[in-house]
Amino acid sequence: MKESSKDDGDFQLVRLAQAGDRGAFGGLVERYKKSAYRLALNFAHDHEEAKDLSQEAFLRAFKELGSFNGRASFYTWFYRILVNLCLDYRKRRGRISLEPFDEKTHMTGSESFQGAMAKRHIKTALGALSPKQRTAFILLHHHELSVRDIAKIMRTAEGTVKAHIHRAVLALRESLSGVLGVL
């Protein structure tokens, strides 16, 4: 499905939901629940917390739907809500890692020692980034969002997002070059 037709479909569902059609909002939930859960899981690293965060984001979106004015796509508007919830969650929990959650690794624990050490160094390096750099880097590289969408979600200019990503990459290279030797 082309992005513009998806946006048009979202817009129609939003208008119906704003008029009181709960089924229309359910359509939006169905459309975005899997990707919302994956994003929340990257922040929380816990299945139940990720479910709670993504559900809370949909509840907030439903409550605030009247304020949605269509200047951004529903997708961008909703993801801004979700990312803000996830960032608040991380502040409350005091966690610093933002590596993608890999269920197989967490379930089996059968990584090689070198692989485990490399992951630990990457996790530490990501944790050392500023929250804005980390968020931009994760949304670009782990969720494959465009710089334009990231800028809308972070409520900043595209150039600023590019700068956050550039600085994140430089910091990660510097931090990991001695450890991994290949960057």
User: What CATH architecture does domain 1-94 belong to?
Assistant: Orthogonal Bundle (1.10)
Quick: pLDDT tens for 10-27: 989 999 999 989 899 999
pLDDT mean over 158-182: 84
Helix H segments across 142-183?
A: 147-154, 158-180
Coil, helix or strand at residue 17: helix
Coil, helix or strand at residue 147: helix
- The domain ranges of the chain are 1-94, 96-183
Burial of 3 (0-12, 13-18, 19+ CB in 10 A): exposed
CATH 2.40.128.630 fits 96-183, yes or no: no
Tokens of 168: 């994140």
Measured in degrees and rounded to the nearest 5, phi and psi for residue 22 equal: -65, -30
Burial of 41 (0-12, 13-18, 19+ CB in 10 A): buried
Give the C-alpha separation, 114 to 133, whole Å. Answer: 27
Quick: pLDDT tens for 83-123: 999 888 888 876 444 444 555 444 444 455 666 666 777 77
Quick: pLDDT tens for 61-72: 999 999 998 888
pLDDT of residue 131: 85
pLDDT of residue 174: 86
> Of the ranges 92-101, 121-130, 152-161, which is most confident?
152-161
Residue 179 near residue 121 (C-beta atoms within 8 A):
yes
